[in-house]
Chain A
Amino acid sequence: MKLIAFNLNGKPASISADDPQMPLLYALRDDLGLHGPRFGCGLGQCGACTVHVDGQAVRSCSVPVSAVAGRKIVTLEGLGTPGRPHPLQRAFIAEQAVQCGYCINGMIMQAAAFLQTTRNPTEEEIRAALAENLCRCGTHVRIVRAVKRAAETMARERRP
């Protein structure tokens, strides 16, 4: 058993893993009880498992848990809370940009990392940023609107 420690949603966390090659996704879901990151393909193709590692959006299904030792992980749960939701979470509610919602973790986490670096994105840039996140219900049109709305909100909130 190997103890692997990291920062999870602002707090210290650790797991003991008998296999350091276990993908981070299973550590988050099975050891740490989170529901935000979701199992979709296990192949890094769909984006449902997306989390932030040191601010970067990564596919937790394809990162060994040992690779995140000592690093800062943020999941959908840590992005905002029901009391203090992230602007993206508010925007997804305002736009009702969910059908089954299984992909939405990835959409929000990918978009959150994207909006860190691109502050006033065009619709085309949003579509490109989310190109490797799959949605099967066809919620895309609303998701793009929600990301746009969140970007505008964040721009407003940044102003003094």
Chain B
Amino acid sequence: MTPFTSGRGLSESRRAFLKTGGALVVSFAVEPPAGVAAAAPSAPPKTVATDQVDAFLAIDARGLVTVYSGKVDLGTGVQIAMAQIAAEELSVPLERVTVIQGDTMLTPDQGVTFGSLSIQNGGMQIRQAAATAREALLWQVAVDQGVAKETLTVKDGVIVPRSGGRSWSYAQLVGGRNFQLKLDARAPLKDPKDYTIVGTPVARPDIPDKVSGRFTYMQDFKINGMVHARVIRPRAMKAALLAWNDVEARKIPGYLGIVYKGNFLAVLARREWAAIKASRAVATTWSDWQGLPDKTKLWEYVRSVKINKDEDLQKVGNSAEAMKAPRARIVSASYDFAIHTHGSIGPSCAVAQYKDGKLTVWSASQATHLLRKQLSNMLDLRPEDVRCIYIEGSGCYGRNGHEDAAADAALLAKETGLPVRVQWMREDEHGWDPKGPPSLYDLRAAIDDKGGVTAWESEVLIPDRPKEIAVPLLAAELAGLLREDAHPGNIQQSLAIPYTFPNIRATAHWLAETPFRPSWIRTPGRMQNTFANESFVDELAAAVGADPLEFRLRHLNDPRGAELLQRLARLSGWKPRSAPPRQSGDVMKGRGLSYVRYELARTYVGAVADVEVDRRTGKVRVSQFYVAHDCGQIINPDGLRNQIEGNVVQTTSRTLIEDLHFDRSRVTSLDWETYPILKFPDVPEVVIDLIDRPTEKPWGAGEPTSAVVPSAIANAIFDATGARLRSVPFVPAKVLAALEKA
């Protein structure tokens, strides 16, 4: 067959070049697929309206329950938690519950899977839907039988009179029919003292398949007739495509052709290896672009960026006045936090099919409903003609490249009419996924002559929120198509502090630009903000010669937070300390403490880090982390521990070694050598105290733990060495420089 070329968007002069390069538009030599293999359910029309019980739940004639969850399991174990919540509230055995996730045709839009809100928000909607359904069925039987509802109860999916006698199963009562019920926000919830499923460490159902190679990740998913694509990325982030030539690629067996649109350029091949080789064989010429800041002067750059607006996030009393008090001692410090990448172990992948005017996209997106909007906009399709189906991929910790891979595949499928799989390469993921933006802080406090903190002021420089700073789909940006951008939010959260200083002002300066597409990357903003806050609290405690734990307790008017800190002290065997002890020897040991009430509104976490600092090499090793955690009602304690451990380890990695490198044109951290992450020998042990409060609301878990990790490590380094590390990551060069100054 003859390779094809499909493209638009290049000027005539470029077209002339392309003709000399031998590329002409040729018809496709590939048959459209006969049908989709396994995973395209031809489901009946089903409501996804979030005020309808049917959006969330179905019970079939065998009494099997299907939960439709808009929140998806990104490897965090929320799938089993959702099943536990539904099974408990319906009083059915857990093994009868199946969870379908993130399918825009089947699951309600419960918002993006971010912010540790899956259980807190998504799970509670499912709980309320289940309670509404159960109550309605109890009423139905009560009315039919002319008995009081209170005389009935549910056991294993069967409604039975408390006194015994005839029973009615959910299967009989519902049996595959719709509930046609509005979600009742007041439907009474099951009393937690009767729980038998929620609160228990049920094993995850996906693990046996994952440890035996039988799990189908997004990266494994195939449909009939599927071809493989690789996108050829610009040499510089905003460079324009000037010319390309695929003469060499045409020699590769199975090469199908090239698709270009503006600066979007992709090769297609029948087989994956051929697509990879073709992507390397195509010669390209790009315009020069050097719009990135000088990495060695990143913080000067951040300080130079235009500020769109200032916003007070917390204002108590009058801090400016207090700072001017005659005998006030002013303590100040600046902190910065490097640019980070998600570093998913599996690069992003997606499959798309465009057929009869309808687009289906299989993606590991954390936001299939949002993705549908973005894709329909980009490809000028009606949203109802776009279906996005979630398939679990490699873990993503926020908005990585999954959505962009989906857009690549969608664009290619629509352009060619072929079912297309796009698998990003390692350099695509490291180089092009959105990044955690650089964050910079200035903190000041006033201390009176009795050692009391009279004022606290914090200022942060962070990229602006909607609509100034946006995260477009890469394909839309490169191809110059219509964009429906996404906007990372809430990165100002947790700058406000939980302490009772008499005068407080926390201010965000919203910046007009940031070097890379800013992302929701695990604990966005809250991690950086808490790093600055809790490091500075530690500096204040040291400034007044107080024990860091006692200092926090002194300024905390929150019994639940105080209880958590007391439990943390017991867990870690905390001994009061007011100044770093002088240590001889090459390896200095210390411990540091940190505390957060996440967003000042939900989960409490306290952590103690034990570190060893080698004064010869500047290497920091975190040997142990102690975490006390209160997220209210715990759904699955083992899943929760798994998340806490993961957040500690990942954030230890981010804190100690992670720093995205780039030149003026592009990211240069393109693999694991240039963007190393923590390896086994350097991973801390994690000791956890879970505070379960079954009668309280379940709040989010995961992110809140990450928030306290960087400051706990920084404070431990101070305890070990007397040196303050105020710039993440704490790489040896920075540690040695700080030791020099201490």
B-binding residues in A (CB < 8 A): 18-19, 22-23, 26, 29-30, 34-43, 45-46, 48, 75-77, 79-82, 85, 88-89, 92-93, 96, 98-105, 108, 124, 126-128, 130-144
Contact A133 B650 (CB under 8 A): no
B394 sits at the interface (CB 8 A): yes
B576 sits at the interface (CB 8 A): no
8 closest Cβ pairs, A-B complex: A100-B75, A36-B213, A138-B649, A100-B395, A138-B646, A101-B210, A76-B213, A102-B394
Contact B213 A105 (CB under 8 A): yes
Partner of A127, one of B206, B342, B649, B683: B683
Q: Could you say which of B215-223, B383-391, B461-469 contacts chain A?
A: B215-223
Q: Which of A22, A40, A48, A76 has the largest count of B CB atoms less than 10 A from its CB?
A: A40
Residue of A nearest to B706 (CB): A138
B685 sits at the interface (CB 8 A): yes
Q: Which residues of A contact B74 (CB under 8 A)?
A: 100
B301 sits at the interface (CB 8 A): no
Question: Can you identify 25 A-B contacts, CB atoms within 8 angstroms?
Answer: A18-B254, A22-B273, A26-B271, A26-B272, A29-B272, A35-B214, A38-B217, A39-B346, A40-B347, A46-B345, A75-B213, A80-B212, A82-B212, A85-B208, A92-B211, A96-B642, A98-B75, A100-B74, A102-B75, A102-B344, A104-B211, A127-B681, A133-B680, A136-B677, A141-B683
B736 sits at the interface (CB 8 A): no
Bound form: Cα–Cα A45–B343 in Å: 13
Known: A92-B207, A93-B207. A134 touches B672 (CB 8 A): yes
Partner of A35, one of B213, B273, B426: B213
Bound form: Cα–Cα A37–B392 in Å: 17
Partner of A99, one of B75, B211, B425: B75
- Dominant secondary structure of chain A at its interface with chain B: loop
Known: A18-B253, A45-B671, A137-B75. A93 touches B345 (CB 8 A): no
Enumerate B176-214 residues with CB–CB distance to A below 8 Å. Answer: 203-204, 206-208, 210-214
Contact B681 A138 (CB under 8 A): no
Given A36-B213, A41-B671, A104-B210, output 5 extra A-B contacts at Cβ < 8 Å. Answer: A38-B345, A41-B672, A98-B207, A100-B392, A102-B346
Q: Which residues of A contact B648 (CB under 8 A)?
A: 138
Partner of B679, one of A79, A98, A100, A131: A131
Contact B672 A99 (CB under 8 A): no
Q: Which residues of A contact B649 (CB under 8 A)?
A: 138-141
Contact A134 B345 (CB under 8 A): yes
Contact A136 B395 (CB under 8 A): yes
Bound form: Cα–Cα A127–B203 in Å: 25
Contact A99 B77 (CB under 8 A): yes
Partner of A76, one of B212, B345, B346: B212
B484 sits at the interface (CB 8 A): no
Q: Which residues of A contact B343 (CB under 8 A)?
A: 136
B277 sits at the interface (CB 8 A): yes
Bound form: Cα–Cα A105–B394 in Å: 12
Bound form: Cα–Cα A41–B672 in Å: 8
B76 sits at the interface (CB 8 A): yes
Contact A98 B681 (CB under 8 A): no
Bound form: Cα–Cα A130–B681 in Å: 8
CB distance from B422 to the nearest CB of A (A): 13
Q: Which residues of A contact B395 (CB under 8 A)?
A: 99-100, 102, 136-137
B397 sits at the interface (CB 8 A): yes
Known: A82-B214, A137-B395. A142 touches B254 (CB 8 A): no
Q: Which of B213, B392, B671 has the largest count of A CB atoms less than 10 A from its CB?
A: B213
Residue of A nearest to B673 (CB): A45
Bound form: Cα–Cα A38–B213 in Å: 9
Partner of B645, one of A82, A134, A141: A141
Contact B345 A141 (CB under 8 A): no
A-binding residues in B (CB < 8 A): 74-77, 203-204, 206-208, 210-217, 219-220, 253-254, 271-273, 277, 342-347, 392-395, 397, 423, 425-426, 638, 642-643, 645-650, 653, 671-673, 677-681, 683, 685-686
CB distance from A76 to the nearest CB of B (A): 4
CB distance from A99 to the nearest CB of B (A): 5
Q: Which residues of A contact B672 (CB under 8 A)?
A: 41, 43, 45-46, 134
Known: A39-B423, A99-B646. A93 touches B203 (CB 8 A): yes
Contact A139 B638 (CB under 8 A): no
Known: A93-B207, A137-B646. A101 touches B680 (CB 8 A): no
Bound form: Cα–Cα A55–B26 in Å: 49
Q: Which residues of A contact B273 (CB under 8 A)?
A: 19, 22-23, 26, 30
Contact A43 B426 (CB under 8 A): yes
Q: Which residues of B contact A105 (CB under 8 A)?
A: 213
Contact B679 A134 (CB under 8 A): yes
Bound form: Cα–Cα A51–B550 in Å: 53
Residue of B nearest to A30 (CB): B272
Bound form: Cα–Cα A93–B643 in Å: 16
Q: Which residues of B contact A96 (CB under 8 A)?
A: 203-204, 207, 638, 642
Q: Which residues of B contact A22 (CB under 8 A)?
A: 273
Q: Which residues of B contact A128 (CB under 8 A)?
A: 680-681
Q: Which residues of B contact A45 (CB under 8 A)?
A: 671-673
CB distance from A145 to the nearest CB of B (A): 10
CB distance from A67 to the nearest CB of B (A): 15
Residue of B nearest to A33 (CB): B222
Q: Which residues of B contact A79 (CB under 8 A)?
A: 212
Bound form: Cα–Cα A77–B347 in Å: 22
Q: Which residues of A contact B342 (CB under 8 A)?
A: 136
Q: Which residues of B contact A137 (CB under 8 A)?
A: 75, 395, 646, 650
Q: Which residues of B contact A80 (CB under 8 A)?
A: 212
Contact A35 B216 (CB under 8 A): yes
CB distance from B562 to the nearest CB of A (A): 29
Q: Which residues of B contact A99 (CB under 8 A)?
A: 75-77, 395, 642-643, 646
Q: Which residues of A contact B345 (CB under 8 A)?
A: 38, 40, 46, 48, 100, 102-103, 134-136
CB distance from B660 to the nearest CB of A (A): 15
Partner of B211, one of A102, A108, A130, A131: A108
Contact B646 A39 (CB under 8 A): no
Contact B215 A35 (CB under 8 A): yes
Bound form: Cα–Cα A92–B648 in Å: 20
Q: Which residues of B contact A77 (CB under 8 A)?
A: 212-214
CB distance from B256 to the nearest CB of A (A): 15
Q: Which of A132, A135, A136 has the largest count of B CB atoms less than 10 A from its CB?
A: A136
Bound form: Cα–Cα A143–B686 in Å: 13
Q: Which residues of A contact B212 (CB under 8 A)?
A: 36, 76-77, 79-82, 85, 89
CB distance from A37 to the nearest CB of B (A): 8
Known: A39-B346, A41-B426. A101 touches B215 (CB 8 A): yes
Q: Which residues of B contact A139 (CB under 8 A)?
A: 642, 645-646, 649
Known: A99-B76, A100-B395, A141-B685. A34 touches B204 (CB 8 A): no
CB distance from A126 to the nearest CB of B (A): 8
Q: Which residues of A contact B217 (CB under 8 A)?
A: 35, 38, 102
Contact A138 B647 (CB under 8 A): yes
